[in-house]
A = this chain, B = another copy of it.
Amino acid sequence: MEFTNYEPGEYAREHIRITPTTLSDGREFFYLDDEPDYVAGRKVRELRDPRQLADRFANQLDPEGNEVPYAAPLMRRDPLTGDWVPMATARMNRPINIGPGATATGNPLAARKPGDPYQDGEVPDVDYDVVVFENRFPSMVQVPGRDRDAVAHVDGNPLWLEKPAAGRCEVICFDPDEHGLPADLPVERLRTVVEAWAFRTAELSAIDGIEQVYPFENHGQEIGVSLAHPHGQVYAYPYIAPRLETELRHTEAYFQETGGNLLRDIMDAEVAAEERVVMENGSWVGYVPAAARWPLEVHVAPKRDVLTLDELDDAERWDLAQMYSTLLKRGNTFFDRGDGKGMDLPYIAAWHQAPVRDSRRDHYRLNLQFFSFRRAANKVKYLAGSESGMAAWVSDTTPELIAQRFKELGPVRL
């Protein structure tokens, strides 16, 4: 058993233990333990995946039964927008968003039952705190021995570029209890989730060809998450995603014009305006942005200039866990169902980090964009013709009303 070469910092060295292993089909898998027995090294992780899965890059059978090389996912560039679009044909028959290894009967994120020699899941051990592993049905993957940069022209036309979708898709499982909510996890556990985000950012950024590391959380049936088990994901894109590209264009232009960092100046402006600041602690500020487009939207920014999650120091990681916990809890009480009990808010938590190697990275700044499609206890905002067709959002509320409601749910100073 070896520790990963990642340096998780002082706090993590004391309180968190990272144990790498490999699933039987060759995918990487990591335990992140905040449980004292594991951290103290007294327990030893069961590292053997009891399944005997075929190597994930093994030859496959085509519809006629012939053995053919593994069909790696490809991506094409849309000449009208410049966007790369991974095409994940292998995922066509997978259960929707249900994550790796899922079947109709099993929860792939469950720990093995003690004494049970086999369970149809992805976790080899009988318990865990947080685990991270490569998605079994990735829309992007790097295939050993294949040229990541092999560009082809679709139908021989140079308008249409096609190349391997040589990124990486990982799953982060937040807790062994499949019935819990991320909002109800103790701050200590969310601290380990923060460590997972930072750890994966560091390791994935070191992989050749990765341009952006994007930890995110989809939560709620309303956005298609059919697996209730608390979990998030990390996409390591082999390109800069369109939204980050747009932001980089603006942060860079702002730097060229003013010498300043747009994201810092936005945060400072929100702090100065005060009205939309909904949370603050030692190292973070949470605010509803002045031009919020979602019915519930909060951006969380570090007070110190930080580009990526792995640059956060121990105090910042701890403070982030506290603020994330508060954000999720208040999110669940934001919409009043009339019984005062709150609800399980569907949300997307999206980490915007500086790109891995793009020259504009130094003028960006780490921020979390947290938002919900829900616009009332019984209403959802749909992304219809204006949003889906023209990327033109229309807000049904105002940033000030969102902030006002947040402030009713608890003090700004955490």
Chain A residues in contact with chain B, CB under 8 A? 76-83, 85-89, 91-92, 96-97, 139, 154-155, 157, 159-160, 214, 216-218, 223-225, 233, 235, 237, 241-244, 246-247, 250-251, 254, 262-263, 265-266, 269, 272-273, 275, 289-293, 348, 350, 369, 371, 373, 379-386, 388-399, 401
Contact = CB atoms under 8 A, between A and B. Distances in A.
Nearest to A160: B290
B389 A348 contact: yes
A398 B216 contact: no
A233 to B, nearest CB: 7
Nearest to A217: B385
A390 B246 contact: no
Given A76-B399, A80-B266, 9 more contacts: A85-B292, A85-B394, A92-B396, A92-B397, A159-B266, A160-B290, A224-B384, A242-B392, A383-B388
A365 to B, nearest CB: 10
B89 A237 contact: no
A155 B275 contact: yes
A170 to B, nearest CB: 13
Summarize A's interface: helix, strand, loop or mixed: mixed
Contacts of A214: 385-386, 389-390
Contact of A81 (B96, B246, B382): B246
A83 to B, nearest CB: 7
28 contacts: A76-B290, A78-B291, A79-B250, A79-B291, A80-B266, A81-B243, A81-B250, A83-B392, A85-B395, A86-B394, A86-B395, A88-B395, A155-B269, A159-B265, A159-B266, A214-B390, A216-B389, A216-B390, A224-B382, A224-B384, A235-B390, A241-B392, A242-B390, A243-B391, A244-B390, A348-B384, A373-B388, A391-B391
B391 A85 contact: no
Contacts of A218: 384-385
B159 A392 contact: no
Contacts of A401: 89
A251 B392 contact: no
A273 B254 CA distance: 43
A6 to B, nearest CB: 24
Contacts of A225: 384
A210 to B, nearest CB: 14
B290 A390 contact: no
Contacts of A154: 273, 290
